[in-house]
Amino acid sequence: MKAIVNTETCIGCGLCVSICDAVFELDDDGKAKTIVDRIAAEHKTLAQQAAKDCPVESITIVD
Ligand code: SF4
């Protein structure tokens, strides 16, 4: 499982980072990015929560 951030639509609110900082961080340009290639099993639930809660639906979780 991996997470993909659409930096075209991300508004840099930081919510995904506060929900799951093991997977997401804000880049220097103020956009979220993923910091892992594959999401570890223990972080999957929070990563999915971040995707669900992103206000502009900029996070896609893929297998
Ligand atoms: S929650 Fe969505 S809009 Fe906010 S920083 Fe993360 S990807 Fe960007």
Model pLDDT for residues 6-41, shown as the tens digit of each residue: 999 999 999 999 999 999 999 999 999 999 999 999
Query: Model pTM?
Result: 0.95
Query: Which range of residues forms the domain containing residue 58?
Result: 2-62
Query: How close is the Cα of 51 to the center of ligand 1, in Å?
Result: 8
Indicate which CATH number applies to the domain containing 28: 3.30.70.20
Angle at Cα 45 formed by Cα 42 and Cα 51, nearest 5°?
Answer: 130
Residue written as token pair 């993909």 = 4
Query: How close is the Cα of 34 to the center of ligand 1, in Å?
Result: 11
Q: Which of these, 26, 25, 23, lies nearest to 43 by C-alpha position?
A: 23
Considering its fold, how many domains does the chain have in total?
Answer: 1
